[in-house]
Amino acid sequence: MTATASQSTKTMTMVAAINDALALALARDPAVHIFGEDVGVMGGVFRATDGLQARFGVERVFDTPLAEAGIVGMGIGMGLAGLKPVAEIQFAGFLYPALDQILSHLGRYRHRTRSRYHLPMVVRAPYGGGVHTPEQHADSPEAILAHTPGVKVVIPATPHDAKGLLLAAIEDPDPVFFLEAIKLYRSVKEEVPETYYTTPLGKARVVTGGDDVTVIAYGGMVEVAQKAAEAARSHGIGVEVIDLRTLVPLDTETILSSVVKTGRVVVVTEAPRTGGFHSEIAATIAEEAIEHLQAPIVRVTGFDAPYPPFTSIEDVYRPNPVRVAKAIRQVLSY
């Protein structure tokens, strides 16, 4: 369901759109429960759950002890027993203590019970850099999650998508990781319908059309790709920017039809370079459409090093429009 012009809309930041989605989900389905560290009284460190406890009660929106494995593990039990848990992990870089719960159980409950049980759970976590957070607050661990069978991975790039995709994630019968780029929480605003709507998981969005180069990005890197695409356009180069929206399920159809058209591909991510999801995209294109490629695929990524907590060089690690523009020139000049 997409919004039509007649629906009432409101200018929302991404964090406001997320808050709006959570409120609508709580109001619509009594099984929805929100919990995590500081989500209750405080409304979350980014205020994504602001006001929800006051409105929906301490039993629907509650603070937990400080323990990520406990939060995810408890959520699994709640999901088994028929609730719809929506857990917040304060930063995606804090997910690691919960990885046993995620890899051993969250992703494989349906499989290990032959569908007797399933987990309609959503785990929200802010991720990524660009806002000078302290050490370990800027990680992008989406590849670890996407490599885990049985979980979906959703990463919105706009307020409109954040709301629609989050509502779709909460409706989904299977576990979904919903990663929110910290950089985008308050930097982007757009008109968002005030009503309930869902944006389907597994459908990429063509942000801008173009015939010369395909730039594939998601989350916080979409606006970086867009800026590079605008610069290229001023030089007469047509760049098609694709926002994946979801890594699992992956919309290979949209990727491949663009690649067939342009023959040149740049993949952008702020995650470390080796073994990242961007490599999966490059490999998929190589397997499915290599005869259409006119240049090697170029990856613009972070480095094989922990995300630097040093403000003055943070922006060297995180891809910027200049690096993406350089990659666009590289694939064009091959």
Partner 1 sequence: MPQPPFQAQAAPAAAPEAPDETLQLIAPDGTVTRPDRLPDPETRVRLYRHMRRVRHFDERAWVLYRTGRMGVFPPYGGMEASQVGTAAALTPDDWLFPTYRDTGAALTYGLPLEQTIAYWRTSPHGWAMPQNLKILPFYIPIATQYPQAVGAALAERRLGTRNVAMAYIGDGGSSEGDFHEALNFAGALNAPCVFILQNNGWAISVPTHTQTRARNLARRADGYGLPGVRVDGNDVLATYQVTREAVTRARNGEGPTLIETVTYRVKPHTVADDPSRYRSEADTAGWDAKDPLTRLRTHLLQEGLLTEEEDHAFAREIEAEFEAALRVADSFPEPTPAEIVDHVFAEPTPQLVRQRAQLLAEEQA
Phi-psi region of 100 (alpha: psi -120 to 50; beta: other; left: phi over 0): alpha
Asked if 90 and 127 count as a contact pair (C-beta separation under 8 A), the reply is no
Per CB under 8 A, the list member of 3, 45, 74, 231 interacting with partner 1 is: 74
82 vs 134 by CB, closer to partner 1:
82
Does residue 117 bind partner 1 (CB under 8 A)? yes
Q: How far is the CB of 60 from partner 1 (least distance, A)?
A: 9
Active site residue 118: no
Does residue 81 bind partner 1 (CB under 8 A)? yes
Q: How far is the CB of 73 from partner 1 (least distance, A)?
A: 3
Q: Which residues contact 234 (CB under 8 A, 6 or more apart)?
A: none
Per CB under 8 A, the list member of 4, 82, 236, 311 interacting with partner 1 is: 82
Tell me how many degrees the CA angle 43-84-163 measures, rounded to the nearest 5: 55
203 vs 233 by CB, closer to partner 1:
203
Q: Of residues 197-216, which lie at the interface with partner 1 (CB under 8 A)?
A: 202
CA gap 325, 302 in Å, rounded: 16
Give the Å distances, CA to CA, from 32 to 7, 25, 60, 120, 201. Answer: 26, 7, 7, 10, 19
The active-site residue out of 33, 105, 132, 137 is 137
Does residue 5 bind partner 1 (CB under 8 A)? no
140 vs 148 by CB, closer to partner 1:
148
Per CB under 8 A, the list member of 36, 44, 75, 129 interacting with partner 1 is: 75
Task: Name the 3-class secondary structure at 59.
Answer: coil
Does residue 99 bind partner 1 (CB under 8 A)? no
Q: How far is the CB of 104 from partner 1 (least distance, A)?
A: 4
Per CB under 8 A, the list member of 3, 38, 97, 332 interacting with partner 1 is: 97
Record the tokens describing residue 281, joined without a space: 């995209």
Asked if 133 and 182 count as a contact pair (C-beta separation under 8 A), the reply is yes
Residue 206 phi/psi, 5-degree rounding, is: -85, 110
Q: How far is the CB of 102 from partner 1 (least distance, A)?
A: 10
Helices marked H in the chain: 14-28, 52-56, 68-80, 99-100, 109-112, 142-146, 159-171, 221-233, 252-262, 277-289, 311-317, 321-332
Binding mask 136-175 for partner 1 (x = CB under 8 A): -------------xx-x-------------------xxx-
CA gap 165, 245 in Å, rounded: 8
Catalogue the active-site residues: 137
Binding-site ranges for partner 1 (CB under 8 A): 30-31, 33, 58-59, 62, 64-65, 67, 69-70, 72-83, 85, 97, 100-101, 104-105, 110-118, 149-150, 152, 172-174, 202, 248-250, 252-253
